[in-house]
Amino acid sequence: MIAATAKIHPLSVIEDGAIIGENVVVGPFCHVGPKVVLHDGVELLTHVVVTGRTVIGRGTRIFANAVIGGEPQSVSHDGAETTLDIGEMCVIREGVTMNTGTTEGGGKTVVGNHNLFLANSHVAHDCILADHIILSNNVMLAGHVKVEDRVILGGGSAVHQFTRIGRHAFIGGLSAVSYDVIPYGMLNGNPGILGGLNVVGMARAGIEKASIHQVRRAFKQIFEGEGSVRANAAAIREQYADSVPVMHILDFIAADSDRALSSPNRGKG
């Protein structure tokens, strides 16, 4: 079904069964598969492939040579029909690839709203991305990665499968993210080392100075205390019960995960 207000270039292919919303624009040499949904205002500029059971949210723009909704690049993929769900007002630049999920991983890859994917970045199967995230050029997310709100990943960084990255974290360019990164953390290097806090990002997000100082104190107590990281985090929970940013960090550390935590020491020789 194609809405009457959609503009489809005659040199593009929209397969029967695709659902094309109001004011969608499809430029030349695009291919939209039969199980794709393009919500109102989506724009495919040129040479874009959208395939699989893929839904793209309102107002999202996709640039040349992106391939969205391809089968998962997993040796265990059994060919089952899985999904990719992309939110509203995302910008997906040249050469970006995003894959559907795998049966064993829950069957779906999910991308939130207002995210920016720069050229040649990759979102693998079963990833869960929140909102207002930036993947710079050539960023690679392996399967089952979870990225929280307002994370920025620098160019060429690579994230190991099943890794979590907490809200407002900053990943430096060319970094190897092998372990979970706490909210507000700043990680650099290969292997990646948690060098401190994304103070600039916190300030830009409107977090007050007093709260930032609390997070700094908590960071030292967690990573420089005598006990283990998890024990130190549990020990200070009552002390920071009124600090929302610190509680974000403590809850992240306490949650179950398939990966260990990045720290100022993990990865050093």
Active site residues: 125-126, 143
Q: What is the rounded CA–CA span in Å between residue 265 and residue 91?
A: 36
Q: What distances in angstroms separate CA 139 from CA 95, 98, 176, 184, one per listed residue?
A: 12, 12, 10, 19
- Cβ-Cβ contacts under 8 Å for 228 (sequence gap 6 or more): none
Angle 185-180-94 from CA coordinates, rounded to 5°? 80
Chain centre to alpha carbon of residue 248? 18
CA-CA-CA-CA torsion sign (28, 30, 33, 38): negative
Q: Which of 144, 120, 138, 142 is nearest to 67 (CA)?
A: 120
| C-alpha 175: how far from chain center | 16
CA atoms lying within 13 Å on the CB side of residue 145: 25
> CA 95, CA 88: separation in Å to the nearest integer?
20
